[in-house]
Structure 1
Amino acid sequence: MVDGVSVDALTSGSMSEFPFTARKLHMDEILAALPAMSHCDELKDAYISVFAPLFHVLHDPTFNADYARFRAQPESMPLSWLALLFAVLSIAVTSLDEGSLLLRDLGKGSTASKNISTLTSRYRAAAFMCLESDHYLWRQNLRTLQALILLIYGINHSHGQSWALLGITRNIALSLGCHVDPEHFDIDIVEAEQRRRCWAGLTMLYMIQNTCLGSIDTTPIQSSVKMPLDVDDDELSPGTALATTGDRNQPSQMSYLLYKFRLYDICARICDHLFPESGLPSYAAITAFDNEISVQQDEWNIKYVSDTRHSSLPTHHAVHLNILFGYSHQLFLLLHRPVLVQAHANHGTTQKYTPGQVLTSRRRCLQSASALLGIHQLLHENQEYRPYQWYNRGLGSFHAFHAAVFIAYTCGTDTDLSSDDRASLRRELETSIHTFEAMASTGMSRICEKAAPILRHLCANSNLFAKRTPHSVQEMPRPIQPLTPPLSGCSEGQSYSPSLMHATSQQLEVFLETLQPNQWLSPGTIAWNDWDVIVDGYPGSANLLNI
């Protein structure tokens, strides 16, 4: 008996799906939710070329073989695989830009952003309908897990956190034994690597959301799973023995995910150890993390750049490398900015950090801020990178906004900058503002729509464009990111109303508060409404900051 109800009663008749009652969909209903086969083909190919190498949890040959069977007999495919297909389609749509003919054929809305949002939601909802019809909450397989992981990945990039769904998915992974290394099972290398990839991808998503939520889960699950092999999919063949090594000198389809996994681990540890409420971190701890990030950068250069003397780096690897460097520069800003904020807040009185340490942190932050702005502009302007605009419109723009705010803040508060350095930073920032405004004008980036008026007004309200007399002259270090091109061309800016030229002390205080590192972990953690005092009165800024 369970609360007065017999177990037999719970498993019979209309109660057979208790407590999760879901309507069983007919296969015709599910297939009707798919786009035309030709459109399906294009979206599948877009996913394989753009997203699969970034978040490589599937084995492409296996998925393509299943897709071929789907093309031949759609009604014969398992519901869990159809859920995976819909998850793939929901992600692939985001790679389409405003000029895409495919997007115009699929969407009925008046704008590209509306069509992308509608189609993504439609295919995502269809994926969940397939999962529910397959009773995924108590009946799961590897495709179920893959579909859920990709759905969370897509939600993170388009809508933000999905903590509850992530918890369900991690428990499903546990029920499938994905926390145990597959060498303990009698399975071939393809299934083994898919299981490892699922666990690595799920762990990475968990680290990201847990960090953004303030590390609310401090009891990680014990796991014996090894990291996936750093190999291309065509090196894995069904029926072969499980390999234990996959060392190679050139990047594989898995390289980016493995490197990004390490960066997210560093980010989580930075947040755990360096941003407690109890006080500021020691500079020795900051230096240790700085060195750890620099070691990662050196590894990327060896892996991606060392063998490009006779042939250029493939486009997708070049994008991956720029994203990796961009995230590492974001980490440098998170790591060193507490030093600069504390130094400015104390106005030269007793400080935790020495003047030399403050100078070192300022140089590092200026290097990273300049590199981030360069990466943002490069990804925006290079036509070969158009399929990756979904990243640049989102997280890439958020990181560049962080960098631009830092440069404006430094120029408004640091009296030691030389006039030449200040002019150079002004040109970089003005060029970046034009990039933000150009991206905002397409209607495809909410972050740019928020950031552009903030940056334009912030520059007017700071001392960035004011003539300053430097106390000393310091040489500005060059950015350490090797693939970031020098910013070409610049604007001399616009004329601003005298009423906008001076920020009040209250505005500066609010500004300093918004510069705290925890608000720069993701677009969802920043307090956008705190910027109202900065943009108050800016023409056309009303409602841009409402989330």
Structure 2
Amino acid sequence: MLPPNSVTEYLVARYFGTLSPLFHILHGPTFQNQYLDFLKDPKRISLSWLALLFAILSLTLKTIEASDVGVTELWQDATLPRDLSAISQKYQNAAMMSLSQDQFLVRHDLCTLEALLILVFMISHNEGPEYGWALLGNALNIGIALRCHMDAQGPNCIDRERRRRCWAGILVVHTHQSLCFRDIDLTFLLNMKAVMPAWVNDTDIQEHGLADLSPQSSQLTNMALMKFQVRLFQLSTQICEHISGSNRLSTTSLHQFDACVSKEQAEWDAAYLVNGKRSILDTASYAHWCMLQTYAHQLYLLLHRPFHSSRSSHFRNESRDKCIKSGLALLDIHHQFFELPRLKCYRWLVKGAISCNALHGAVALTSCMLDMPEDSDLTEHISAIDGAVSRLEALKTKSQACSHVYPILRCLR
């Protein structure tokens, strides 16, 4: 069922090298020890860990091309279709089957939760957040059952940090949901005062405790992106609660939340950019910065939407300008992930969430264009939407999310 050992090892290494920092819930050294135990005696490994391995393989296969030299050995098996998406689906099904065979609804451990979270992350970014609700609900309740939200004393520091990372992962995935389904109240998660994981590198977590770290160290860790994403969950939940409430038209609240988003952006700039520009030496940091920006611009659109139309008694010209700027930014980020050679390792993101975000930006931009004076120069705006339509036409057969986004986006042209 598993691919050859060399291919499996390549996919695992690629996962931890490129994909894991995007959703860093796993403790790398722990997984490595588990993997080595599996190689020694495959029959003794738990079904929950096997599900985790299948989930990692499935996600990684979605991010590479069939021509990748790391999977060449796969094609020696004539029975396998030369279609990585089909093989990825096969391993996703195997992960679910392993969980089912393990009776995960009544029997679960940390590996069960880690496998579920990676599956939800994969589904959200490839098919759309709406398809991950059921599994996310299971993950949340299993996380509660395992007391990941409690500051319980585990057998050692590694175990405690794994639990805390899983809880942080649950919050991060809920951020996707809150932005897509803003009328769903997630404040109950904010009220669960869980201890967050240490924002340190994997190697700094040891059984007896955390390694001594310099408090002045400004170097980014494995957990940097996760830290910013958890803060975004907290902010986005507050914003979604606000815009669904009776006070949603308060300009005072608008300015306060707008400033909060802007403050987060300033921190991302300080962490990931070099003198305000993208680093040419660190592709990952720029990719992470772009991902965070998609959250920020979606929040700006949600905040300013009630004020952007001149037909509204609450119209603010600044809000319309903000919606235009954020709409263009979301379309530009989609363009960069699709076009830039240096972001090739992250191009798979346009098959799901990034394209859904681009649609959000295009709809907001179109709404603003229809409301602008007839003598306005809309060349840049129309060109941005046309470019997105062309890209989605090329992507429409690549994923379920893109096949849904494309016909809607085409209607805006």
State the TM-score, normalizing by the size of structure 2.
Answer: 0.86
Question: Do the aligned partners of residues 100 and 309 (structure 1) sit closer, same or farther apart at CA in structure 2, a change above 3 Å counting?
Answer: closer
Q: How does 1:282-301 map onto structure 2 within 5 Å? A: 282-301=250-269
Residue pair 1:230, 1:255 contacting (<8 A) in 2 also: yes
> Does 2:382 correspond to 1:412?
no
Distance 1:360 1:309, change over 3 A: closer
- Report the CA distance between 1:452 and its aligned residue: 4.6
1:458 paired residue number: 412
Indicate if the aligned counterparts of 1:190 and 1:236 stay in contact, CA closer than 8 A.
yes
Q: Does 1:157 align with 2:125?
A: yes
Q: Do the aligned partners of residues 188 and 314 (structure 1) sit closer, same or farther apart at CA in structure 2, a change above 3 Å counting?
A: farther
**Which amino acid is the alignment partner of residue 395 of structure 1?**
A
Are 2:325 and 1:367 equivalent residues in the alignment?
Answer: yes
In the alignment, structure 1 residue 424 sits paired with structure 2 residue 386: no
Give the total of aligned pairs. 406
Select the residue among 203, 208, 211 that pairs with 1:234.
203
Where do 1:25-424 residues align within 5 Å? 33-97=1-65, 99-100=67-68, 102=71, 105=75, 108-109=80-81, 112=83, 115-116=84-85, 118-159=86-127, 160-182=130-152, 185=153, 187-206=155-174, 208-209=176-177, 212-213=180-181, 214-215=183-184, 219-220=188-189, 223-240=192-209, 248-276=217-245, 280-306=248-274, 312-341=280-309, 343-344=310-311, 346=312, 351-353=313-315, 358-415=316-373, 418-419=376-377, 422-424=378-380
Shift of 1:331: 1.5
Question: Which shows bigger deviation, 120-129 or 245-254?
Answer: 245-254
**Partners of 1:411 and 1:417 within 8 A in 2:** no
The answer to which structure, 1 or 2, has the higher relative contact order (CA under 8 A, 6+ apart) is 2
Query: Using the alignment, how far apart are the partners of 2:225 and 2:16 within structure 1?
Result: 15
Distance of 1:241 and 1:280 partners within structure 2: 43
| Amino acid of the structure 1 residue aligned with 2:150 | V
d(CA) in 2 for partners of 1:157, 1:123 = 17
Match of 1:528 in 2: none
Render the CA deviation track for 1:345-390: whole Å, top value 9, x for unaligned. x4xxxx134xxxx111122122222222221111111223222122
Unaligned runs of 5+ in 2: none
Displacement, 1:217? Answer: 6.1
| CA distance 1:384–1:73, shift in 2 (3 Å) | farther
- Give the superposition deviation at 1:163: 3.2
Which residue identity lines up with residue 398 of structure 2 in the other structure? Answer: M
Q: Is the 8 A contact 1:394 1:447 kept in 2?
A: yes
Closer/same/farther in 2, CA of residues 36 and 406 from structure 1, 3 Å limit: same
What letter corresponds to residue 366 of structure 1 in structure 2?
I
1:293 and 1:240, CA in 2 relative to 1: closer, same or farther beyond 3 A? same
Distance 1:439 1:326 in 2: 19
Residues 327 and 224 of structure 1: is their aligned pair in 2 closer, same or farther, counting only changes over 3 Å? closer
Cα distance in 2 for residues equivalent to 1:434 and 1:34:
37
Q: Is the 8 A contact 2:294 2:333 kept in 1?
A: yes
Which whole-Å deviations, capped at 9, do the CAs of 1:178-207 have from their partners, x for residues lacking one? 12124xx16433222111101111233345
Deviations 1:262-304 (A, max 9, x none): 223322222211134x585212211111111000000011111
What residue is the counterpart of 1:462 in the other structure? none
Distance between the aligned counterparts of 2:277 and 2:314, measured in 1? 46
Between the aligned partners of 2:56 and 2:215, the Cα distance in structure 1 is: 27
Task: Report the Cα distance in structure 2 between the residues aligned to 1:212 and 1:309, rounded to whole angstroms.
Answer: 30
Which structure has the larger Rg over C-alpha atoms?
A: 1
Name the CA distance, whole Å, in 1 between partners of 2:295 and 2:278. 28
Q: Structure 1 residue 148: deviation in Å? A: 2.1
Change (3 A) 1:36 1:427: same
- Tell me how far 1:308 sits from its aligned partner: 8.9
| Larger displacement relative to structure 2 (405-414 or 46-55) | 405-414
* Residues 411 and 176 (structure 1), Cα distance of their counterparts in 2 relative to 1, 3 Å cut: closer
Q: Could you tell me whether the CA contact under 8 Å between 1:370 and 1:403 is conserved in 2?
A: yes
Q: Which runs of 5+ in 1 are unaligned?
A: 1-32, 460-547
The 1:444/1:167 distance shift into structure 2, 3 A limit, reads: closer
- Find the counterpart in structure 2 of residue 444 from structure 1: 398
Secondary structure of the structure 1 residue equivalent to 2:168: helix
- Structure 1, 358-367 or 403-412: larger mean CA deviation: 403-412
| Residue in structure 2 matched with residue 544 of structure 1 by the alignment | none
- Over 3 Å counting, the alpha-carbon distance change for 1:172 and 1:247 in structure 2 is farther
Change (3 A) 1:222 1:187: farther
Give the conservation status (yes or no) of the 8 Å contact 1:229–1:246. Answer: no
The 1:127–1:431 alpha-carbon spacing in structure 2 relative to 1, beyond 3 Å, is closer
The answer to whether the 8 A contact 1:372-1:399 is kept is yes
Q: Distance in 2 between matches of 1:153 and 1:340?
A: 33
